[in-house]
């Protein structure tokens, strides 16, 4: 199946029951397939008038108790930023799939790019944490979609699945697990009486229970700074603890959220750090370099944000050179360079214009 198809299968396996979106290449397959599949499992599909309305509907459906998602590409992702920030501030679980294409503006609608890395982290105004996952194979499109829903529900946060056109339209053999074999998490619901419920209270794990609208629990949801009951506040003794908890629920669980995979890294003197479809070029370049006698390894990054800082820090103390290929002018490489702290040289390999970085382009960076 294709990557976009695998996203649909992963979402259904995770229990998605609501999708709102607006057609945009190269993500439209996800909406088209879900428009047929969701009604068969009692779910709801709705095509909204634009991407702003789409993410708003997704947030509303999640507050109503449904696992909800949308899918888009760069221009639509830009339009969603304000409401992604709203979902982060109000701690509403949802999944946003961004199948990246070449930009800026309309760019090349059918060509791949990785230009939304920094937008996925810093696109909204103000400060808030975010979780961003990036698949490099069709199989990972399935597994990371399930994982995106699990993390979203577990930590009451929006999660972004940051793909690109190559992965979205790539066709590979995928072994789907049998029904019931996957770990599927659901949000923690309140057990206290309705009159005691506080939607943003302090808890031991920093993730307050969430109750769906319509279940008899009356509470307030606002994008303004809010107190534990959800009502607007300007009191610093209420704002500061809320802000600290908002970040702490992600930061204290980095080991659970952040995933990377090492390939031939044990004896490596040079490491390639890659994400998304560029992993495939990097892996081929690594094998070519190994055949030529170069000790090159690969670190595949599945979690872009939170940034895998500790892994990169350890890597920089092991190797002499880190090469970061990506289909942009250099975005992820800046974070790698920051985390390396000068312990290893960091080189970026960039390509724009809607074409994949080739293995030989990466090899040339070894000899620069």
Q: Which residues pair with 68 in a beta bridge?
A: 18
CA 251 → CA 125, 185, 196, 211, 305, distances in Å?
A: 20, 20, 28, 24, 11
Q: What is the DSSP string of 321-341?
A: EEEEEESSSSSHHHHHHHHHT
Q: How many percent of the chain have pLDDT more than 90?
A: 96
Residue 288 in this model has a pLDDT that exceeds 90: yes
CB within 8 Å of 195: residues ≥ 6 apart: none
Instruction: Identify the band that residue 249 occupies on the pLDDT scale cut at 50, 70 and 90.
Output: very high
**Mean pLDDT of the region 175-185:** 90
Q: What is the DSSP string of 55-77?
A: HHHHHHHHHTT--EEEEE-HHHH
**Mean pLDDT of the region 71-82:** 97
What CATH number belongs to 260-366? 3.40.50.920
* pLDDT per residue as tens digits for the range 306-354: 999 999 999 999 999 999 999 999 999 999 999 999 999 999 999 999 9
pTM beyond 0.95, yes or no: yes
Instruction: Identify the band that residue 149 occupies on the pLDDT scale cut at 50, 70 and 90.
Output: very high
Token digits of residue 338: 């920051």
Q: Which residues pair with 271 in a beta bridge?
A: 297, 322
Domain assignments of the chain as residue spans, ordered by start: 3-169, 260-366
C-alpha closest to that of 142 among 165, 124, 167: 167
Under CATH, what is the fold of the domain 3-169?
Rossmann fold (3.40.50)
Look over the chain and give the mean of its residue pLDDT values, rounded to a whole number: 96
pLDDT at site 180: 82
Q: What three-state secondary structure class fits 226?
A: strand
Residue 89 in this model has a pLDDT that exceeds 80: yes
Sheet holding 345-350, edge to edge: 260-263, 296-301, 270-274, 321-326, 345-350
Residue 69 in this model has a pLDDT that exceeds 90: yes
**Contacts of range 54-57, beta carbons closer than 8 Å, 24 or more positions apart:** 54/20, 54/21, 54/22, 54/80, 55/20, 55/80, 55/83, 55/84, 55/87, 55/94, 55/96, 56/83, 57/18, 57/20
pLDDT at site 367: 85
Residue 301 in this model has a pLDDT that exceeds 80: yes
* pLDDT per residue as tens digits for the range 251-261: 999 999 999 99
**Mean pLDDT of the region 166-194:** 93
275: left (phi over 0), alpha (psi -120 to 50) or beta: beta
Sheet holding 68-72, edge to edge: 44-47, 18-21, 68-72, 94-100, 158-164, 131-133, 303-305
Do the domains at 3-169 and 260-366 have one common CATH topology? yes
Residue 179 in this model has a pLDDT that exceeds 90: no
- DSSP annotation of 20 reads E
- Report the C-alpha gap between 336 and 346 in whole angstroms: 7
pLDDT at site 240: 96
- Report the C-alpha gap between 103 and 112 in whole angstroms: 9
């Amino acid at each position: 199946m294709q990557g976009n198809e695998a996203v649909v299968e992963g979402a259904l396996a995770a229990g998605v029951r609501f999708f709102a979106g607006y057609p945009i290449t190269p993500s439209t397959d996800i909406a088209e397939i879900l428009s047929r599949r969701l009604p068969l499992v009692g779910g709801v599909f709705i095509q909204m008038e634009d991407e702003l309305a789409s993410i708003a509907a997704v947030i509303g459906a999640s507050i109503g108790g449904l696992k909800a998602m949308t899918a888009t590409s760069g221009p639509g992702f830009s339009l969603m930023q304000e409401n992604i920030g709203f979902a982060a501030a109000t701690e509403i679980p949802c999944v946003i799939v961004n199948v990246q294409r070449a930009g800026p503006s309309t760019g090349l609608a059918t060509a791949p790019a990785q230009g939304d890395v920094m937008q996925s982290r810093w696109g909204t105004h103000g400060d808030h944490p975010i979780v961003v996952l990036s698949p490099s194979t069709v199989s990972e499109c399935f597994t990371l979609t399930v994982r995106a829903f699990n993390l979203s529900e577990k930590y009451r946060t929006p999660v972004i699945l940051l793909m690109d056109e190559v992965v979205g339209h790539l066709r590979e053999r995928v072994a789907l697990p049998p029904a019931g074999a996957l770990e599927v998490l659901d949000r923690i619901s309140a057990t206290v009486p309705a009159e005691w419920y506080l939607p943003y209270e302090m808890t031991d794990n920093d993730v307050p229970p969430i109750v769906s609208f319509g279940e008899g629990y009356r509470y307030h949801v606002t994008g303004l700074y809010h107190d534990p009951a959800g009502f607007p506040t300007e009191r610093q003794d209420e704002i500061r603890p809320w802000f600290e908890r908002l970040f702490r629920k992600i930061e204290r669980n980095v080991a659970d959220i952040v995933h990377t995979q090492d390939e031939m890294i044990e004896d490596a003197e040079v490491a390639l750090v890659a994400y998304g479809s560029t992993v495939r070029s990097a892996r081929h370049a690594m094998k070519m370099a190994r055949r030529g006698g170069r000790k090159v390894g690969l670190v595949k990054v599945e979690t872009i944000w939170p940034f895998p800082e500790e892994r990169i820090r350890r890597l920089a103390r092991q190797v002499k050179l880190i090469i970061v290929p990506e289909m942009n002018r250099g975005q992820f490489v800046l974070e790698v360079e920051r985390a390396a702290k000068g312990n290893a040289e960091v080189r970026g390999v960039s390509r724009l214009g809607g074409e994949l970085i080739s293995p030989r382009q990466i090899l040339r960076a070894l000899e620069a």
